[in-house]
Structure 1
Amino acid sequence: MTHPWFAGPPRPRVLAHRGLVTPDGAAAGIAENSFAAVAEAHAAGAHYVESDCHLTRDGVVVLFHDPDLSRVTGDTRRVDEVSLRTLADLMSGHGGVITLEQALDAFPDVHWNLDVKAAAAAEEVGRIVAPHAARVLVTSFSDDRRRAALAAAAAAGADLTPATSAGTSLVSRLVGAVSLRSRRVARRVLRNVDAVQVPERQGRLRIVTPRLIDYAHAAGVEVHVWTVNDPDDMTRLVTMGVDGIVTDRADVALRTLS
């Protein structure tokens, strides 16, 4: 049975990568993963928002990509070294900090693609998303972190397990199965995931191929490609058969793929 996370606009899915920061927004100092960036993606019509989860010093899950604050705010401390109040002060000129609980409550019609960036955040992410599992997909480069968040959601009484996509170890095994032309192994690798979210290439290795898409679809799994900002690339990948585009320019993608 298809997970409710996938009940939405017809494919291809447009996933707003860390929200949406337009050139005008960037000029105004708006940062990715801020409240303003999420609001801009929502206003542009994005049904899916991809974001990242870290834990502050006082145990609050916030939407933030990097382990430290330097790139976004100029502060060299790690996210887990500052309180929510301090982070809110630092983000006040960059679109505002947004916690995971705020994101789920303030945007009730958004379906979230949440990347658990820190092991310490996994259990709290699972607890928070449990009541919202129908519109949450949990992912992580670490399959252990991803599974820990899913287990925490179940322990918190979720009526439904959140959707999930493969981490690095499963993706590596899938790429191996594709190279061996083993549909059977690919199906076994993918049996507990709903999506594969990958770059088109990793260095010189092409990951997204017609065969990988075919094997994933045969296992009932969608393929989402990140991070695609060129309209021609969006069209080419969708024509190849991918189900979703993760993009910094959700506004451009929605116009291009409509």
Structure 2
Amino acid sequence: MSLENAIARLAPAMPAFEPGHVWLAGAGPGNVGSLTLDVVAAIADADAIVYDALVESSILDAARHGVELHFAGKRGGQASTAQDDITALLISLARKKRRVLRLKGGDPYVFGRGGEEALALAQAGIPFRILPGVTSAFGALASAGIPATMRGLNKAIILATGHAGTEDDLDWAALARTGQPIVVYMGLRNLARITAALVSGGLRPSTPAAVIMAATTSQERVLVSTLEAIADEATAQDFASPALIVVGEIVSMRAELIALERLMRSA
């Protein structure tokens, strides 16, 4: 069966995108292959797409002719669209009877402010729907060859934001004491402070750590080091956002899995 026929068979199960509705959708970590069928269908049907900085431009090529494209990107340390303005735009477009797609990197409910936008839409009486996306953390780990969970290594995994200021920061020492792997979003600018706090909280300086930059895209880069050295090495090698930081023994699996994969290919 061809890809087109397979998609056509699945399409009838997809709900109708009604005028005046807003769909909050996750575009995954970057690569178009991570898009769900629901999100692909929504991109094709939308009258207006409000998209984030982490949404690849090639994804928008699937939109129909004449669609309104509204950039609403947010990047740490750079001029960004205010959240109140984004919410107001969604409501305004919906009241004009547009079929509005709010397209976000990763999953809209995982560090994507999807909950805030859904609440605002509900309070404004705007019908909305959530289209889940491949969570950036797990997509990035898989792409980099790092298993999110591994029997014998971890029984949980922590997703944390590294974007907060020092007055509103996480208790990194408490996270360190769990002994479970930590995936940090938006933490590259604060990496030195975060790693120092984790060491102070009890993690060994030699704990494996990685930075995954532009995960799943053609620009993906992976740096594997230790907790005490990762910040300096990321700076020296010009790692930049978007990037995820991974701390924990699961990082050590990458070298073994890559070695085994290469051995299988050469056999």
Same fold, TM-score > 0.5, yes or no: no
TM-score by length of 2: 0.26
Q: Which has the greater radius of gyration?
A: 2
TM-score (norm 1): 0.27
